[in-house]
Amino acid sequence: MKSGAIHIYSGDGHGKSPAALGRAVTMACQGKNVVIIQFLKGKGLEDSEFLRRLEPEIKLFRFEKSDGDFAELSDGQKADEIINIRNGLNFAKKVLCTGGCDLLILDEVLRLIDNCIITVEELRDLLDMRSDEAMDIILTGITLNEEVCLLADEVTRLETVKYEA
C-alpha cells in the first residue's frame, strides 16, 4: 500500500471490513495510529473487548445508536440516525483536517451513498479535507460506480464464490 493513498474495498462478497481491519492491525504493528469509523453496521465491532485492547493504536468509533438495519427503521428513527451519522462524518472531517492518524477507515461509508444520506460529491469534499498527504484512507461498501472509483488510488472488489454460515 503506497503512502497517502485512498483505497476502496467493495463488492457484494464478505470480507471488506475484515480486510480493512487486517490493514489496521498491520499498521498498528508498525507503530502507526488507526481510526476506524463504522457506519450502518448495527452493533458492529463497538463492544469488542479485543479491539479495546488494541488501543491506543487502533481506535474504533460508531456514532449510531440503533442496532437495527437502517432500512427497517421508522422515518423518525432514520432521521435521528442520520443526525448521528452526520456527527460521525464531522468527526471524520476533524480527523482528516488535523492529521489525527496514519490510517483512517470509513467502514461502510459507501452505503451512505446507497441510502441517499450523502452524495458522491459530499464524500469527495470530505476526502479533500485530508491535511496530511501521507494519511492512508480506506473506504468500504457494497456498491461501486465509476464516480466513486475516481475518488480512489486503488479499488479492490471482493466476490464471494461460496459462503456457508
Considering the domain boundaries, does residue 50 fall inside one? yes
Query: To 5 degrees, how large is the angle CA 66–CA 117–CA 17?
Result: 65
| pTM of the predicted structure, to 2 decimals | 0.91
Q: How far apart are the first and last CA of the chain?
A: 31
Q: Is residue 123 pLDDT above 60, yes or no?
A: yes
Q: Is residue 1 pLDDT above 60, yes or no?
A: no
Q: What is the pLDDT of residues 79-99, one digit of tens each?
A: 999 999 999 999 999 999 999
Q: What is the pLDDT of residues 66-79, one digit of tens each?
A: 888 888 888 999 99
How far is it, in rounded angstroms, from Cα 137 to Cα 96? 9
Residue 47 belongs to domain with CATH number = 3.40.50.300
Q: Quick one: average pLDDT of 105-116?
A: 95
Considering the domain boundaries, does residue 85 fall inside one? yes
Lowest mean pLDDT among 13-22, 26-35, 44-53: 44-53
CA atoms within 13 A on the CB side of 14: 5
DSSP 37-99: EE-S-TTTTTT-HHHHHTTTTEEEEE-----S-GGGS-HHHHHHHHHHHHHHHHHHHHHHHHT
Q: Is residue 47 pLDDT above 70, yes or no?
A: no
Residue 135 carries which DSSP code? Answer: -
How far is it, in rounded angstroms, from Cα 85 to Cα 111? 12
Considering the domain boundaries, does residue 163 fall inside one? no
Considering the domain boundaries, does residue 96 fall inside one? yes
With CA atoms as reference, report the closest residue to 103 among 135, 140, 126, 56.
135
Q: Which domain does 93 fall in, by range?
A: 6-157
**Confidence at residue 141, expressed as pLDDT on a 0 to 100 scale:** 95
How many structural domains are present in the chain? 1
